[in-house]
Structure 1
Amino acid sequence: MAFATADTDSPHLAPAVDASPRGLRAVADRLSGPGPGSQRVLMTSTFVNTIGNGMFMTSSILYFTRVVHLSAARAGLGLTVAGVVGVSAAVFIGDLADRRGPREVQLALLVLMSVTMASYVLIHDFAGLVLVAALDLLANGASNAVRGGLARRIGGEGAAAFRSRLRATTNAGIAIGTLVAACAIEVDTRLAYELLILGNAVTFLISAAMLRRLPHLEPLPRPARERRWSAARDVPFNAWAIANGLMTLQYQVLLIPLPLWIVSHTHAPRWSVALCLLINTLICVFFQVRVGAGVTTIAQGARAFRNAGCFFLISCPLLGLMPDVPGWAAVLLLAAGCVAHTTGELWHASGSFTLGYDLAPEHAQSQYQGMQGLWSSLLGTSLAPAILTLICVDGGQVGWFALGGFFLVLGLATIPVTHWAERTRPRYLPRPSE
């Protein structure tokens, strides 16, 4: 079995599940979610916060290099070190949210992130960057795990579809934040960059104020014999989470190797880098919900990974062929490749939402979201710059074709891994539909 047993006298374990009809109905009521009003609150709160995140994401590297006067290499190294440290808290804070209630833990994390974000204006050297970024990313990683569990409780039976709507909202917020940041970048002064940072810090507080409107969500009862940190012991779930983490490399393809590829190896104009990101954002905003609506079961989630791999097999070679054609044709290949890649991204995101929820026990959603996020951060974010640059930029066209093949094999391999994980799921609690 995926979950080990433990002494029932552990003080950290919640009461056993009441198996009476009344007890099962009470659990099912909790799983059904507090209603659409709460979903709107979380979506609005997320939208405000991601506007600030878009402001910071767009301008941060320029702030570190032009204001703090770090080299691009040292800034990147500092953020990488901080990122590795930052993923360490997700599982622990996720478990705390499962035991105490996700709303209160998320409120505390939003306030903490407001402080850590504002602290970026105080850094003056490499050590300061690593310290502040590590604290900020630690809180951010924990917040992502808790928000995932919160979305599961609020979304009820349609939690995966609700996550798709949240993702579309996130993309829209980041797009608006990017436009705001562009104005500050054009001014290019210390004050302009610091106003972006402090503005982002304020969005965390506004987001927290909005989130206070959510009701308290009682922790779900745990099985009497379950050990703490069950997510770390769940081998089948972790096997799927590792596959998902490797697939998460795809999120960085359009951000890291593609701009370098366009500028240094193709005849496409430099502005086409922005065109690619615009295509990606618009497709995510308008089609993520539609794709996610068709991925609601574990079997559909596994097939979504297969579909994603197929689209990546199309997109990567299209991008790899750009050096062989003139500038106008390279732009067309770029647009086609971005459309195919983003379509694969939609399938991957939808599959990961559904499988991340349905392969995890209901009472430990935030803890499992933290474990899923840990593998995604380690394999799909921390390693992405080195791996993707080596494969796609240094490896040239062969590397782009190999990357497409890798994603296809990974998508196909996810199907038996998912089936294995599904077969080993203990049925602790009833699903909302039962």
Structure 2
Amino acid sequence: MIRRSPTGRITHRMGGSRPERVMIAASFVNRVGNGLFNAASALYFTLVVGLPAAQVGAALTIAGVIGLCASVPGGHLADRRGARAVMMLALSVQTLSMAALVLVESAAALTVVATVDQIAAAAGGAAWGALVARVGGDRPALFRARLRTFVNLGVVLGTLGAGLALAVDSRSAYVALILGNAASFALCALLLLLLPHYPVPPAPAPRHRRLVLRDRPFVTFTALYGAMGLQYPVVSLLLPIWIAEHTEAPRWTVAALFAVNSAFCVLMQTRIGSRVETPHDGGRAFRTAGLLFLVSCPIFALSAHVPVWAAAALVVAAVFVHSLAEVWESSAGFALGFGLAPEHAQGQYQGLLGLGFGAGQALAPVILTTVVLGLGTVGWMVLAVFFAALGAAGPAVARWGLRTRPQPDKSAETTG
């Protein structure tokens, strides 16, 4: 299938324009590095450096909370100075901070270095969202969906590489993973040099420094999106514990569910994302995601009450439904996140969305372990209703957001 670019040139949809291919390559490289690091970071600081797990957790939590505060200011800076420039600066800082982790020998040093890294990550994330909007042109949600396909693939490949290093289980192997992630940041920044220079969109007067905080529909959607983000740790955190402690399913089921989740997201993100591009589409997709979570959560709960192979089959089936919901939810986030944001303020709008998502991820472990693991089957039902209620609000928030967007001057169009 082909389409015409804004300049009239025909490009293949799967190949995309040159800036799109550059952005995909840069994101892929960056996420391979993330996969290398994330799978082994906690083990490095506890087993190799010898820090207590509680100190490592506290350091990373402090860094994460402080870093979140940089999301909106970083996005505002991207709107004023250019998204590519801010993202390249953030990647350069992360290259240095990640490399510096191999020198860390204390909890205090880990806190400082990790905080610098998280501040740069938050600011760079907001700039990255704005850059996606520029590169994606008039279809940023579809491009973001395509991008997520390669992002997921990059994380999977990085995680496989980390598995090889973990099998070696030596200091040099862990250090190689950390430096590999640092190198991925540097290479990602270099690849962004291949992007064209996008001029900063002019902002209407008066320019509000925190325009996004005045946008009540978008703030409301950010809260919904952050809360719905609890679904991500369901697979990565909650299910392994649930399977091990509450079901008769064999332990290899954990690996199977990760494979199903990753493969489904890689294969289906673009296919479903191509159907969810406008804010109206996004509102309906958010509702669809909530309804699918309403189905998947009870199936997870049921797996604790059946024999071993039935439990394994139910968990895999539930992950399949959960993954389908995840793709609809992420597509909704792209459509509403880009569609409700004014062109001149994409950075701060993406920054606020990242802030909401990050806050939800920070709270997710305590909520999921307390509610679901604490209440068991009832906890799964509560989670299902929670997700469904969030999703049900999607269409109304989309309509509210569209009503409050500036309307084109029809009289001027008629005169022209």
Question: What TM-score, normalized by structure 2, do the two folds share?
Answer: 0.93
Instruction: Give the RMSD, CA atoms, in angstroms.
Output: 1.6
| Alignment partner of 1:243 is 2:219 | no
Query: Can you give the 5+ residue segments of structure 2 that lack an aligned partner in the other structure?
Result: 1-5, 8-15, 411-416
Cα distance in 1 between the residues matched to 2:164 and 2:212: 44
Cα distance in 2 between the residues matched to 1:78 and 1:429: 52
Residue 418 of structure 1 corresponds to 398
User: Once the 2 structures are TM-superposed, how far is the Cα of residue 322 of structure 1 from its aligned partner?
Assistant: 1.4
Cα distance in 1 between the residues matched to 2:375 and 2:37: 32
Residue 272 of structure 1 corresponds to 253
Cα distance in 2 between the residues matched to 1:68 and 1:398: 41
Cα distance in 2 between the residues matched to 1:200 and 1:406: 36
Q: 374, 393, 402: which one pairs with 2:373?
A: 393
Matched residue SS, 2:196: coil
User: Once the 2 structures are TM-superposed, how far is the Cα of residue 95 of structure 1 from its aligned partner?
Assistant: 1.0
Q: Give deviations 1:10-69, integer Å, cap 9, x for gaps.
A: xxxxxxxxxxxxxxxxxx98xxxxx81000001011111111100111111211221122
Residue 136 of structure 1 corresponds to 117
Taking every aligned residue pair, what percent have the same amino acid on both sides?
Answer: 46
Which residues of 2 match residues 21-420 of structure 1 at below 5 A?
A: 36-378=17-359, 380-420=360-400
User: Once the 2 structures are TM-superposed, how far is the Cα of residue 428 of structure 1 from its aligned partner?
Assistant: 7.6
Matched residue SS, 2:200: coil
Of the structure 1 ranges 400-409 and 95-104, higher mean CA displacement relative to structure 2 is found in: 95-104
Cα distance in 2 between the residues matched to 1:88 and 1:81: 11
Cα distance in 1 between the residues matched to 2:61 and 2:79: 29
User: Once the 2 structures are TM-superposed, how far is the Cα of residue 427 of structure 1 from its aligned partner?
Assistant: 4.0
**Change over 3 Å in CA distance of 1:133–1:429 after alignment to 2:** farther
- C-alpha contact 1:100 1:218 (8 A) present in aligned 2: no
Q: AA paired with 1:54?
A: G
Matched residue SS, 2:137: helix
Residue 3 of structure 2 corresponds to none
Cα distance in 2 between the residues matched to 1:68 and 1:271: 30
User: Once the 2 structures are TM-superposed, how far is the Cα of residue 78 of structure 1 from its aligned partner?
Assistant: 2.2
User: Once the 2 structures are TM-superposed, how far is the Cα of residue 73 of structure 1 from its aligned partner?
Assistant: 3.4
Matched residue SS, 1:225: coil
Cα distance in 1 between the residues matched to 2:283 and 2:249: 36
- C-alpha contact 1:46 1:207 (8 A) present in aligned 2: yes
Question: What TM-score, normalized by structure 1, do the two folds share?
Answer: 0.89
Matched residue SS, 1:267: coil
Report which structure shows greater RCO (CA 8 Å, sep ≥6).
Answer: 1
User: Once the 2 structures are TM-superposed, how far is the Cα of residue 338 of structure 1 from its aligned partner?
Assistant: 0.4
Q: AA paired with 1:383?
A: L
Cα distance in 1 between the residues matched to 2:61 and 2:324: 28
Corresponding residue pairs, total:
397
**Change over 3 Å in CA distance of 1:429–1:170 after alignment to 2:** farther
Q: AA paired with 1:236?
A: P
User: Once the 2 structures are TM-superposed, how far is the Cα of residue 132 of structure 1 from its aligned partner?
Assistant: 1.5
User: Once the 2 structures are TM-superposed, how far is the Cα of residue 301 of structure 1 from its aligned partner?
Assistant: 0.3
User: Once the 2 structures are TM-superposed, how far is the Cα of residue 423 of structure 1 from its aligned partner?
Assistant: 1.0
Matched residue SS, 1:272: helix
**Change over 3 Å in CA distance of 1:393–1:37 after alignment to 2:** same
- C-alpha contact 2:289 2:329 (8 A) present in aligned 1: yes
- C-alpha contact 2:300 2:314 (8 A) present in aligned 1: yes
User: Once the 2 structures are TM-superposed, how far is the Cα of residue 429 of structure 1 from its aligned partner?
Assistant: 10
- C-alpha contact 2:91 2:188 (8 A) present in aligned 1: yes
Q: Give deviations 1:82-109, integer Å, cap 9, x for gaps.
A: 1111111111111111111111111111
